[in-house]
Amino acid sequence: MFEQNQLLEELHFEGEEFTPKQKKIVAAAIEIFAEKGYAATSTSEIAKKAGVAEGTIFRHYKTKKELLLSIVAPMMAKMIAPFVIKDINRVLDKDHDTLEDFLKEMIKNRAAFMEKNMLLFRIVVQELPFQKELQAQFKEHIVAKVYKRMERIVEHYQQNGEVVEMPTKTVIRLFLSTIFGHLMARFFILSPDEWNDEEEMERTVQFLVRGLRPW
């Protein structure tokens, strides 16, 4: 079974207490939701995989949807962690003088994150089109915050002379779709033998740097 301890550490914070059974339920739910999707997953299947009685699920989560959200909501926060950590400005100004350094750091960081959270990431991406609540959360917390940070970063590199003068929104779009494509290819489309991580990262970064360089 999925390495649940690590997972649970991620989800479990603040005042919440997780009983052992609850941990098993969450771990099982993550696996099955990722594989078959929320709607096609039955609570009895989760219970069986978790090795608990079906009623136990509903002692901890009022509904199946609450179980989904309890898994996905904190995940969404984590997905954008690097954009909201306050250090980012310092990092930005000091360590990553060049856009290239910044991009490399960002891709490495997000790849490391995905390696640890692939299943959760899948669930978020797969359910986003269907769950209105997720979309609301996503818009409010994710889009807003990420956009704000990205805006400052883009402006920084535009003043820097490394990024062409172009609407921030467009730069962010090109930036994110390239990185998203990079991560999808690595984690969901290509097999490891089709992927040399060092080289592909270098190419992705070069593509971005040159594509956005002032014309």
Q: How far is CA 10 from CA 36, 52, 139, in A?
A: 23, 22, 22
Alpha carbons 103 and 97: distance in angstroms, whole number: 11
213 near a second copy, rule: CB under 8 A: yes
Output Rg (C-alpha) for the chain, integer angstroms. 19
Region binding a second copy by CB under 8 A among candidate stretches 32-40, 68-76, 82-90, 103-111: 32-40
Residue keyed to tokens 């984690």: 187
65 near a second copy, rule: CB under 8 A: no
Complex with a second copy: residue 5 or 42, whichever CB lies closer: 42
Q: What are phi and psi of 160, to 5 degrees?
A: -60, -25
Contact status, residue 212 vs residue 171, Cβ threshold 8 Å: yes
- Contacts with a second copy by CB under 8 A: the residue count is 34
Contacts of 114 (CB under 8 A, 6+ apart): 121, 183, 187
40 near a second copy, rule: CB under 8 A: yes
Give residues 2-41 in contact with DNA (rule: CB under 7 A): 19-22, 41
Which spans of this chain sit near a second copy (rule: CB under 8 A)? 36-37, 39-40, 122, 126, 129-130, 166, 169-170, 173-174, 176-178, 180-182, 184-185, 190, 194, 200, 203-204, 206-208, 210-213, 215
Binding site for DNA (CB under 7 A): 19-22, 41-45, 52-60, 62-65
